[in-house]
């Protein structure tokens, strides 16, 4: 009788262990499925955030491809880029945020406030702007900028260490109607479509 009782208890223990193991297995599987689902949602969110835009680059060649006529409306830098002697050509008509837009984003931003946490510098011989509504956002361009299209502007604390040269007097006059870049840093960071800070001449091409 004692022997039978012992066997029954042992069998019960084995069954219980099996159930616990099975539960543990299910838990791991559920966790795995949850992580997989979470990963897919995250990837989807990233894809949506960068719809029609690049994810950022530290390569001038990649930046140039992004600003080709078949490129993206927004192209971002992830660090300083020294392309001394080279020309960045901005071609094509694009829309971003539901309106005509083309942007060179030269900064890293806080994911919550979306304000810049770091800004970058692009060194070139010149930027040739053939796209309407082109913006230099935040960082610094070292070189001249030639504007051949309407609605060129700076965003945030955009800076140009060089000359700003417009194809026509009309393009220059439209730019000069924009607000001056605010001197208060917090306000300047949020400012859109301003005149930026320019160290060289603002003129019409001869």
Which pLDDT does position 82 carry in this prediction?
A: 98
Tell me the pLDDT tens digit for each residue of 37-52.
Answer: 444 333 333 333 334 5
Q: Which residues, 6+ apart, have CB-to-CB distance to 22 below 8 Å? A: none
**Paired tokens of 187:** 């306000």
Which pLDDT does position 162 carry in this prediction?
A: 98
**Paired tokens of 59:** 């390569």
Which pLDDT does position 139 carry in this prediction?
A: 96
Tell me the pLDDT tens digit for each residue of 70-129.
Answer: 999 999 999 999 999 999 999 999 988 888 899 999 999 888 887 889 999 999 999 999
Tell me the pLDDT tens digit for each residue of 147-183.
Answer: 999 999 999 999 999 999 999 999 999 999 999 998 8
| Residue 124 vs residues 17, 23, 81, 141, 168: alpha-carbon distances, Å | 69, 62, 9, 8, 23
Q: Rounded to 5 degrees, what angle do the CA atoms 151, 154, 155 make?
A: 115
* Residue-averaged pLDDT of the chain: 81
**Paired tokens of 38:** 């979470």
Does the predicted TM-score (pTM) go above 0.95?
A: no
What are the start-end ranges of the E strands in the chain?
A: 74-76, 81-90, 95-96, 99-100, 102-105, 107-109, 116-119, 121-129, 134-137, 140-147, 153-155, 159-161, 164-166, 197-198, 202-204
Query: Hey, CA dihedral for 125, 128, 129, 131, is it positive or negative?
Result: negative
């Amino acid at each position: 009788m004692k022997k039978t009782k012992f066997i029954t208890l042992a069998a019960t223990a084995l069954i219980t262990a099996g159930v616990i193991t099975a539960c543990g297995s299910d838990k791991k599987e559920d966790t795995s499925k949850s992580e997989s689902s979470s990963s897919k949602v995250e990837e989807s969110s990233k894809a949506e955030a960068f719809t029609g835009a690049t994810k950022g680059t530290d390569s001038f060649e990649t930046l140039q491809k992004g600003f080709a006529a078949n490129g993206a409306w927004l192209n971002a830098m992830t660090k300083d880029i020294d392309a001394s002697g080279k020309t960045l050509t901005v071609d094509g008509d694009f829309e971003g945020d539901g309106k005509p837009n083309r942007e060179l984003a030269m900064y890293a931003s806080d994911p919550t406030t979306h304000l810049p946490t770091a800004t970058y510098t692009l060194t070139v011989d010149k930027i040739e702007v053939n796209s309407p509504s082109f913006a230099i956002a935040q960082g610094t361009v070292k070189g001249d900028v030639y504007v051949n299209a309407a609605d060129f502007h700076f965003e945030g604390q955009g800076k140009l260490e060089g000359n700003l040269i417009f194809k026509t007097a009309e393009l220059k006059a439209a730019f000069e109607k924009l607000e001056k870049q605010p001197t208060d840093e917090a306000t300047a960071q949020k400012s859109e479509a301003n005149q930026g800070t320019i160290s060289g001449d603002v003129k019409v091409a001869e």
